Amino acid sequence: MVIVVVCASVALAVTRDLKTSQDYQSTLVLFAPMGFLLLLALITSLVRMPEVSTLREVLLVLAVFVAGVFFSKVAGLRFTLLGVLLGAVAVAALSWFLYVDDFSSMGNYFNSAIAKGGVSGNRAIEYASSLIGIAAGLSLLHTKRRSFFALTPPIAFLIITLVFSGSMTALIGLTGTIFAACLLLLRGTRFARVAGFLALGASIASSILLLLLVTLREQALVIVSVFDSPRDLEARLVSWESMLKAFDPVGAFFGYGATFWLEGSAVGELANQPLKALNYGPFDISHSIYLDALAAFGIVGVIIIGALIWGVLRKADGERKAAHQWTESAAPWIFAAAIGITGVTDSFLAYRPAGWLMLGLLYGAFLGRMRLEEVFAARVTRNSVETSAGSVAGS
């Protein structure tokens, strides 16, 4: 109920100044793509499982997502990123604090504070929170000395948290995020072409590695066993394979909404059968945001999501060339790298409503800048002109 009231209040604050048809058209462009996806998810969910609990599940996601969109539009890009950074620091600090019991063995303390689940009780959520906080912090860094010294300690604290999380996925995501930020820095120098080649090479190498990981399963498990337990990776590979086999044609194109992994779902039961046979399941997520998106929205929805991401990154690239603003141009790329790399083997955005709140914040902060800022800039200009005209007429 609180979320609904907040959404309604902020929505009125955002839309009350939209006067012309162009203003409303720009607002529609912002909300139409995600509105279509959520409507698609609602329809497919109720078709698959026509129950009140299914409707409640989708409406909860919708409310949390819209709350994130409205908050980011009111707060603006920089304050949204700062809030994400401070929130991640608070979560990590609380997780460390909860395990302050015995400093006689610092090694055991560091290994247990985050690896056992932290404040949320889920290690994946803990390291995802830190990783997103690092992405926000790197997006806010620029050449001003004051901000550099203010942001470096919290970023370093989150990096330490990730290093001691005991997760290979977290370390790979951290490496990819820092690598992406370094490439973006190079793009602003005379080594821009080198950065392009490095980005292309890293993308090709990652694609080949992922392909080998899926096709040469036994060899991949042997290599992973040197660094970490191969059980988690094997469970993921089995899950992905069984999940794709469980798709029916309609579900593949239009998705299953929120019902794929819900208790009582026929397709979820089918996907869990191989996992149960190997004592890995049952699962309630796919452990890959790409398969989560495919299961929720189908091929149609994935194409729309891809187009939205492409539009945001294209806009960010244009701003880099026009104004050389680090936060506006770098943030979408850094978040795309952090979520895209980590999301290959984890579904941290689908664990709890907090994941959809984060998506709402990013959607409003990034995609919203493509249209609504122009609307409000035009409104301010109109108000100034009207005020000036009134003053002239009065005199």
User: Residue 382 contacts by C-beta under 8 Å, 6 or more apart in sequence?
Assistant: 19
Give the model's pLDDT for residue 280: 78
Rounded Cα distance between 107 and 222, Å, is 28
Rounded Cα distance between 387 and 65, Å, is 37
How distant, in Å, are the alpha carbons of 236, 243, 275, 295 from that of 271?
Answer: 12, 5, 8, 12
Rg of the chain, C-alpha, whole Å = 23
* Mean pLDDT of each 10-residue bin along the chain, 395 residues long: 49 52 58 79 84 79 82 82 90 78 54 62 78 90 73 89 78 87 81 79 78 70 66 79 86 86 82 82 80 88 87 74 71 88 78 75 73 43 48 49
Rounded Cα distance between 387 and 141, Å, is 38
Q: Does residue 87 sit in helix, strand or coil?
A: helix
Q: Does residue 285 sit in helix, strand or coil?
A: coil
List the end-to-end C-alpha distance of the chain, in Å, as a whole number.
51
Give the model's pLDDT for residue 135: 92
Read off the amino acid at residue 374. Answer: E
Give the model's pLDDT for residue 238: 82
> Kindly report the CA angle at 195 between 189 and 200, in degrees rounded to 5?
160
Q: Which helix (H) or strand (E) holds 152?
A: helix 145-163
Give the model's pLDDT for residue 273: 85
Rounded Cα distance between 297 and 307, Å, is 14
Q: Does residue 324 sit in helix, strand or coil?
A: coil
Cα within 13 Å of Cα(3), Cβ side = 14
Q: Which of 214, 261, 208, 206 is nearest to 234 (CA)?
A: 214
What's the whole-model pTM score?
Answer: 0.79
Rounded Cα distance between 362 and 381, Å, is 27
Is the torsion defined by CA of 29, 34, 38, 44 positive or negative? positive
How distant, in Å, are the alpha carbons of 75, 118, 145, 161, 368 from that of 115?
Answer: 33, 7, 35, 10, 36
Surface-to-core class of residue 112, CB atoms within 10 Å of its CB (0-12 exposed, 13-18 middle, 19+ buried): middle
Give the model's pLDDT for residue 315: 77
Give the model's pLDDT for residue 116: 62
Contact 157, 145 (CB under 8 A): no
Contact 287, 347 (CB under 8 A): yes
